[in-house]
């Protein structure tokens, strides 16, 4: 059987299982199997597949039919034009989160912050932390997470991109370890925390439900982690340090209301789909209420 024949069969099989991106997924998995760019499949349609390649590919397609995300099958995901390893038990980086990273990079450059000290809270695969360290070549970045699986994957991604000299991955429940060690003077706290409410969890796509619930679910109203993180950030940020938070598209007002009198310049930014996506604020403990 050649590439074209197996792709066509797999496309049809996935479509029958309700996978809307059946053709794309079939091609991505085939390209991963053969270690080639997806576009190269078109010029090698007649390439005869070996029996072991066919068997391996069928197992991949079977997993996709069971709604396992493609990234978990290939164990990789592109983010900010960088390749990240991902595994089950770790949140898959989302395209909209690139807006968060780009906003932080732009802020550091506009403010001409030298050697910015950045903490990425809930680092997961390390996508945000690694991307910031990669594109801000003088930044010192710490990614924190409570999940042993996430910490392991984040460290592997840090090493993959050769950033160990300016990066570290630390086990911490939000910023608790920094507070315990009385670490202060941080320039930026950034986070894409869990922000899905209990009711919204029920409506998630089957693929998303395969991802770790601890990286998605945030209490009854989806605000649990913002309520904890903002006060904790006050204990580690320097005067006029800034926090950047990814939010759900309907959460802007609720999240901005959580900032008290120690914060100013509370801003909401939209993502490329024109949805509210980022809330940022300047920590200014001497600011007037």
Q: What is the DSSP string of 255-266?
A: HHTT--TTEEEE
Q: Which of 76, 224, 73, 83 is nearest to 160 (CA)?
A: 83
Return the HEC string of 94-116.
CCCHHHHHHHHHHHHHHCCCCCC
Task: Tell which CATH classification among 3.40.50.150, 3.40.50.10490, 3.50.50.60, 3.40.1400.10 matches the domain 79-283.
Answer: 3.40.50.150
Confirm or deny that 145 is annotated as ligand binding.
yes
Confirm or deny that 122 is annotated as ligand binding.
yes
Backbone angles phi, psi at 221, to 5 degrees: -115, 5
Quote the pLDDT of residue 287.
58
Backbone angles phi, psi at 117, to 5 degrees: -100, 120
- For 157, the 3-state DSSP assignment is helix
Q: What whole-number distance in Å separates Cα of residue 151 and Cα of residue 169?
A: 7
Confirm or deny that 125 is annotated as ligand binding.
yes
* Helices assigned H by DSSP within the chain: 3-16, 22-34, 51-65, 70-74, 97-110, 127-135, 148-160, 176-180, 198-201, 224-233, 252-256
The first and second tokens of residue 172, run together, are 């911490």
Domains of the chain, by residue range, sit at 3-66, 79-283
Confirm or deny that 206 is annotated as ligand binding.
no
Confirm or deny that 192 is annotated as ligand binding.
yes
- For 283, the 3-state DSSP assignment is strand
Quote the pLDDT of residue 238.
96
Contact 266, 259 (CB under 8 A): yes
Quote the pLDDT of residue 218.
80
Confirm or deny that 193 is annotated as ligand binding.
yes
Cβ burial, residue 9 (10 Å; 0-12/13-18/19+): middle
pLDDT (tens, 9 = 90+) of the chain, 289 residues, equals 899 999 999 999 999 999 999 999 999 999 999 999 999 998 889 999 999 999 999 999 999 999 999 999 999 999 999 999 999 999 999 999 999 999 999 999 999 999 999 999 999 999 999 999 999 999 999 999 999 999 999 999 999 999 999 999 999 999 999 999 999 999 999 999 988 888 788 788 888 888 888 887 788 788 999 999 999 999 999 999 999 999 998 899 999 999 999 999 999 999 988 999 999 999 998 755 4
Confirm or deny that 260 is annotated as ligand binding.
no
């Amino acid at each position: 059987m050649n590439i074209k024949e197996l792709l066509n069969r797999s496309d049809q099989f996935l479509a029958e299982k309700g996978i809307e991106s059946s053709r794309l997924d079939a091609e991505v998995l085939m390209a991963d199997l053969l270690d080639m760019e997806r576009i190269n499949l078109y010029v090698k349609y007649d390439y005869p597949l070996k029996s072991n390649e066919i068997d391996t590919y069928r197992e991949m397609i079977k997993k996709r039919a069971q709604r396992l995300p493609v990234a978990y099958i290939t164990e990789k995901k592109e983010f900010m034009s960088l390749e990240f390893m991902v595994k089950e038990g770790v949140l898959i980086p989302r395209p909209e989160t690139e807006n968060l990273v780009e906003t932080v990079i732009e802020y550091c450059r506009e403010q001409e912050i030298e050697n910015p000290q950045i903490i990425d809270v809930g680092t997961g695969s390390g996508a945000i932390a690694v991307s910031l360290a990669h594109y801000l070549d003088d930044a010192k970045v710490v990614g924190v997470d409570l999940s042993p699986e996430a910490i392991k994957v984040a460290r592997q991604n840090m090493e993959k991109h050769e950033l160990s000299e300016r990066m570290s991955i630390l086990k911490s429940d939000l910023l608790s370890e920094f507070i315990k060690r009385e670490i202060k003077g941080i320039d930026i706290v950034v986070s894409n925390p869990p922000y899905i409410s209990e009711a919204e969890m029920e409506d998630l796509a089957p693929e998303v439900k395969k991802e770790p619930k601890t990286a998605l679910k945030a209490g009854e109203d989806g605000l649990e982690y913002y309520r904890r993180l903002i006060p904790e950030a006050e204990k580690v940020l320097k005067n006029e340090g800034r926090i950047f938070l990814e939010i759900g598209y309907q959460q802007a007002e609720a999240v901005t209301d959580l900032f008290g009198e120690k914060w100013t310049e509370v801003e909401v930014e939209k993502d490329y789909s024109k949805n509210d996506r980022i809330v940022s604020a300047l920590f200014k403990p001497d600011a007037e209420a």
